[in-house]
Structures are given as structure tokens and as C-alpha cells.
Amino acid sequence: MKKIIKVFFSPSGTTKKVVGKIAGNFKQEKENCDLLNFDSEREFGENDIVIVGMPVFAGRIPKTASERLSKLTGNNTKAIAVVNYGNAHVTDALLELVDILKENNFDVIAAASTISHHSIFDGVAVGRPDSSDIEKINEFAQKCIEKIESGESLQSEIPGNRPYTDYKQLPFVISCDETVCAFCYDCVSICPEHAIPEEDPVDTDLDLCSRCTACIHICQEDARMFTGEAFESKKPAFEQANSERKEPEFYL
């Protein structure tokens, strides 16, 4: 019996949401594989269907996400590749995702780039994915179902370049307001880079931190945030430069 496995690395929860919308179009039993918390080898069967969602960080899949994804292998397993970004630039991320899946013996049948509310600059792509995005995502999912039934693989050329653009480390500071922090340690548990020490969850090792925003979005007290001159000076310019609406793109 076929099973739908939702594979995602979703620090702010938006990529998980998009993968869930696609999976909701399938009738089969569903299972999550959350790469924020899963860092082990896993093999998928020939009858599985894998929907893989990754965020875009400066034109690439996050390095940690790529490393964890590379530990997953298929057996000619059908895969749908999705990158989710904040209305700025996809650059090489979708091509990188498709390449990793093919190298690991997944049969990629379709791919997409979707747009969600930007996880760092909150004035960009507010409210997305919206009803128009979701309608297009559902149409894409139905076409994926048809392709799986027909046995066809991905035919479209994926935009991007090899070698991929270099990884970029953002200079932004993540701070924690100690007067607000509840010391629940949720941020310690969720950080994929182990950049928040358990002995002092107010601290963040910025050399390890990838600025993924997982700690900010899980904090129920809103104690963690981006601060500093680099962030404050970049924010208005970035939001202005990326204010024009971009649309999701689909490849079959």
C-alpha cells in the first residue's frame, strides 16, 4: 500500500504548511519526516510517495537541511520537490533539491517553488500563501497525482546553475530578552545547529547560528528577535526591493 511521506525542514512552519497542502490532495495514509528534528539515515520504499519541502536561504537550501536530506535514500521512490521562499529569489535552491533527490535514487516527478511570508523580514509577502497560492498549489498537486498514475517522471528543465551559488551567512544578531524569557528551553530543543546552550538559553552562538528563525517562531513569549544595526538598516531596503508580488512556479 502506498504511503505519503511529508519530508520538510521548516523553521518558521511555512514550508511545512505548503507540503501539507500538497499532501492533502492525496488519499493515502500520511506520515511526517521533520528534518529539524530528524538527523538519521532512512530508506524509502518503491511504493512510497515523498513530498519534500525545503526553505530557500539566500538562493540555497540551508546547509544543515541539505546534509540531513542527503541521508535519506529512495528505491526509485516517487518524489515531489518543493522549495518555499519569501518573495525574494529562488536562485539555485530548486535545482539543488532536485539534484540531491535524483542522486539518492528518488524518481522526481514534479517540482515547484512557492511563496510564503518572509521569515526574517516580516513586511514581505504578508499573508502568503493566500487563497490564490493555495488554489494553484492544489492544481499542481492534482497534476502530480496524474503523473504518478501515468508513471511519468519530471520532464521540465529546472532553472538554476551548477556550481550553485555560495552559501551566505547573514550578519544579523539574534537576541533574547531575559526579562521576558520563560526558560522553557523550547528554543534549545528546536535549534538544528545546537547554537543555543542549555545552560544559558538566553545566549546564542552566532558562529553556529544559521538565522533559520526556528527559535524565534517557537518562542511563546516573543522573547527572541533579530536586533542590531545590520538588521535594522537592511530591513526597509529589503522590503522595498521585494515588494512586487511573485507567483509560484511549477515544473512537470
Is residue 89's pLDDT more than 70? Answer: yes
Average pLDDT, the chain: 96
What does the pLDDT look like over 19-34, one tens digit per residue?
A: 999 999 999 999 999 9
- Residue 2: which pLDDT band, with cuts at 50, 70 and 90? confident
Architecture of domain 3-163+247-251: 3-Layer(aba) Sandwich (3.40)
**What would the mean pLDDT of 213-226 be, rounded to a whole number?**
96
Class of domain 173-235: alpha beta
**What would the mean pLDDT of 28-55 be, rounded to a whole number?**
96
Residue type, 215: C
Q: Please check whether residue 109 is in contact with residue 79, taking contact to mean a CB–CB distance below 8 angstroms.
A: yes
Phi, psi of 105 (to 5 degrees): 70, 35
Domain ranges of the chain: 3-163+247-251, 173-235
Q: Please check whether residue 84 is in contact with residue 114, taking contact to mean a CB–CB distance below 8 angstroms.
A: yes
Residues 86, 230: Cα–Cα separation, whole Å: 19
**What would the mean pLDDT of 106-125 be, rounded to a whole number?**
97
- Residue 1: which pLDDT band, with cuts at 50, 70 and 90? low
